[in-house]
Chain A
Amino acid sequence: MPASPLSRLRSARLPALLLAAAVALAGCGPQDAGGATDTAPETGDSDSFPRVVQHELGETTIPERPERVVAVTDGGELASLLALGVEPVGFGKRNDPIRPWIEAAGGAEIESYDLAGTEVSFERIAAWKPDLLVVQAGFATKENLAQYSALAPTVVTSFIDWKDNLRQVSEATGTTEKAAELVAENEAAVEDAAKALSGSKGLKVQAITVFEGPEIYRLNDASPLGKLAPSLGLAPFPKAGTPGEAVDTVSLEKLADIDADVLLVQDFGDDGPYRALKEQEIWKRIPAVKTGKVIELSVEESEASYFDSVLTVPLNLQMLQDRLG
């Protein structure tokens, strides 16, 4: 028997109701029960469910306002969740200790499991009974996306652009209004920083990382600092050599060609290779080294300037003002 439009509507609504009941039963912890009843009536038109979210690996339909979000990875997506006021039920911890800006946003109180150097544990994720997964592109691929989707609707977030990341996470969690506020706040902070740095118009700033090996790594125009530079009136960073990569390698032979008025050197807690490079004669040929305009960033500053997220933009602006102002 062909279904009438009415019965189709009803049959679509029935599982949704059942699902909502199941979610309410499953999430009967004290904080979840409150959340479920509070948020439902507030849902405006712009953040209504079910909805379709465009993300890095296509589109995903989210049937209900998610109540149990799991951040599979602790990159920009965890920062976006916390900034949006959506507390995830758990996340995969790749950075131990957790990044300071994640801790400041309450990340330390959230359950997590150790994801450093291991594979994503689908069992751990399933045990949290998620109704939404957010996962950084790269951890979710075309090949394994189905594995995530089998547990819950999955949104794959941008690794390289905090605004995309925030849009994807806010649309999936129904918090687009808050997201717009956050973007506006960050944009205002950029304008303030641009004013504070008005004395440094056209200043050529570059940032490098020294790891083991015959090359150094240079942040390009897709990196967090590279994206901020033009709006701050600084000279543009070098063009990205590979699309989607925030750093490019530079041979030691090319060091003397680094055309920067100020050279920021990142430190990720192991400055051995950097100390060894400083001994080499070629290092002393870099123009910024000759003029003494090398700034060695702290580990915290380095982490933030390598990490694009809604929470690190203000930190990076502050760092640039402190260091260049």
Chain B
Amino acid sequence: MRATAPAATESFAAPVRTRLPVNTWRGRAVLFALLSLLAGLCALLSLAIGAQNIAFDEVWRALVAPESSDEHVIVRTLRVPRTLVGLAVGAALGLAGALIQGHTRNPIADPGLLGVSAGAAFGVVLSIYALDLRLPGGYVWFAFAGALAASVVVFLLGASGRGRSTPVTLALAGAAVSALLGALTSALVLLDPDSLDGFRFWAAGSLAGRGNDVLFPLLPFLLLGTVLAFANAPALNSLGLGEDVARTLGLHVGRARVTGVAAVTLLAGAAVAAAGPIGFLGLIVPHLARAATGPDHRSLLPASALLGASVLLLADVAGRLAAPPGELQVGIVLAAVGAPFFIHLIRRRRLVAL
């Protein structure tokens, strides 16, 4: 009895204990200064560490006074674009994860729930199979279009039932559409295994070889998604009390849901188009962020973005050092590290009830 009583109160009153006084603006300022510092540090690590050993002062010189030495070429043309893609993709996946967990009130929801990853994968396979495209730059729009299309179908299916679209119908529609697209993708891959080497690489998720040519066209969508996400934060806080309470508080539930789904689609769709399907990040990062900020989405969303960028870059750096003289793709690193970490998270503290 004594063991269960405090736990019950905890989940009722405060789902997560927060160590920092984030309810004051001063506390929030300290927290975000720390998180920004962490993201900056990870970006520096990503610039400084790689398969090739380059002294830190040389890395610095490559950034501020570039010459045409081998080291400077590596930093400028390989590490800088890769770091930028990592920052953008990590932040987008962190945000999308926090949004989808908030909307579905499901602690194990991840951005792929809306069929985004499956849609992007199908778009890529279709482009290789039908159009014989072979370059990562060429996949981007097909991946993005696939992600958007899948998400729209999921939303329409989820909303087409007798009742309104609820998180549960969304999740069910997402699972169904993902399964269908996954089957179609496998069918195409099996039909033509030789020409799909490119897909196999894409499907593992990687930051390497994806540079500014991939990032810049997607940037407007990432920015729009971020704006929609932050605009959605107060509504998410109300929705956390339940739809009925939110409605009595004057929230337009349908509009809030559409905004959230649109933001997740844009963010996760652009991320998967840029770097391939990277798992676990959107699942784990919101849990880490929540431990620091508590359930208030106005803090949780930006914290998830900063932590997402940090974790993705750290995992990428680890992958660069894991298999010399080659590299391990970041999607594989996250899958290998993410699963045990997630289990640890669940075992250490009861999974938060959202």
**Docked-complex contact A251 and B50, CB < 8 angstroms:** yes
Known contacts A253-B50, A272-B135, A281-B73; A213 and B209 CB within 8 A of each other:
yes
For residue B171, CB closer than 8 A to chain A, the reply is no
Known: A213-B209, A252-B209. A116 touches B194 (CB 8 A): yes
Tell whether, in the assembled complex, residue B135 and residue A253 are in contact, meaning their CB atoms are under 8 Å apart: no
Question: Which residues of chain B have C-beta atoms less than 8 A from A250's C-beta?
Answer: 325-326
**Would you give the shortest CB distance from A242 to chain B, in whole angstroms?**
10
Q: Is A280 in contact with B134, judged by CB distance below 8 angstroms?
A: no
A residues 116-142 near B (Cβ < 8 Å) are 116-118
A interface majority secondary structure: mixed
| Cβ-defined contact, A273 with B326, below 8 A | no
A254 touches B135 (CB 8 A): no
- Beta-carbon contact of B74 and A211 below 8 Å: no
Q: Could you tell me if B209 and A214 are in contact, using CB atoms closer than 8 angstroms? A: yes
B324 to chain A, nearest CB (A): 8
B198 contacts chain A at the CB level, 8 A cutoff: yes
A192 on interface, CB distance cutoff 8 Å:
no
Give the contacting residue for A254; candidates B51, B195, B202; CB below 8 A.
B51
**B198/A212 in contact, CB under 8 A:** yes
B326–A215 touching, CB < 8 Å = yes
Query: In the docked arrangement, what's the CA distance between A260 and B307, Å?
Result: 43
Contact of A251 with B327 in the complex, beta carbons under 8 Å: yes
Closest partner residue, chain B, to A276 (CB atom): B135
A198 at the B interface (CB under 8 A)? no
Instruction: Determine whether the beta carbon of A213 is less than 8 Å from that of B77.
Output: no
Cβ A251 vs Cβ B73 within 8 A: no
CB-based contact A251/B70 at 8 Å: no
A249 at the interface (CB under 8 A from B): yes
Contact of A257 among B52, B134, B202, B320 (CB under 8 A): B52
Please pick, from A211, A213, A249, A282, the residue contacting B325 in the complex, using a CB distance under 8 A: A249
* Cβ contact within 8 Å between B78 and A282: yes
Q: Judging by beta carbons under 8 Å apart, are A270 and B134 in contact?
A: yes
Contact, CB under 8 Å: B325 / A248: yes
Contacts of B21 in A (CB 8 A): none
Residues of B within 8 A of A323 (CB): none
Interface size on A, residues (CB 8 A): 26
**8 A Cβ contacts from B186-214 to A:** 190-195, 197-198, 201-202, 206, 208-209
**In B57-92, which residues have CB < 8 Å from any A CB?**
70, 73-74, 76-79
Q: Which of A211, A251, A256, A273 is B320 in contact with, Cβ under 8 Å?
A: A251
- A285 at the A/B interface (Cβ < 8 Å)? yes
The answer to whether B51 touches A212, judged by C-beta atoms less than 8 angstroms apart, is no
Instruction: Judge if B323 is at the interface, Cβ distance under 8 Å.
Output: yes
- The minimal Cβ–Cβ distance linking A311 to chain B, given in whole angstroms, is 22
CB interface residues, A 217-272, toward B, < 8 Å: 241, 248-254, 256-257, 270, 272
Q: Which residue of the partner chain, among B52, B136, B137, B201, contacts A253 with CB atoms under 8 Å?
A: B52
Contact among B73, B202, B326 with A212 in the assembled complex (CB-CB below 8 Å): B202
What's the Cα separation between A117 and B320 when bound, in Å? 31
Partner of B201 from A212, A251, A276, A282 at Cβ < 8 Å:
A212
**B104-141 interface mask toward A, CB cutoff 8 Å, 1 = contact, 0 = none?**
00000000000000000000000000000011110000
Q: Chain B contacts of A215 at CB under 8 A?
A: 208, 326-327
Tell me the bound Cα distance from A50 to B190 in angstroms. 42
Q: B70 to chain A: which residues have CB within 8 Å?
A: 256, 285
Does B299 reach chain A (CB closer than 8 Å)? Answer: no
Q: Which residue of A lies closest to B192 (CB)?
A: A117
By the criterion CB–CB under 8 Å, are B208 and A213 in contact? yes
Known: A253-B52, A270-B134. A214 touches B329 (CB 8 A): yes
Complex interface: chain A residues within 8 A of B77 (CB): 280-282
B191 neighbours in A (Cβ, 8 Å) = 117
Nearest 3 CB-CB pairs, A to B? A214-B208, A249-B326, A117-B193
Q: Other than the known A251-B325, A252-B209, A253-B52, what 4 A-B pairs have Cβ atoms closer than 8 Å? A: A252-B78, A253-B50, A273-B135, A281-B73
- B contact residues vs A (CB 8 Å cutoff): 50-52, 70, 73-74, 76-79, 134-137, 190-195, 197-198, 201-202, 206, 208-209, 320, 323-327, 329
5 CB < 8 A contacts A-B: A117-B193, A214-B329, A249-B327, A251-B50, A273-B198
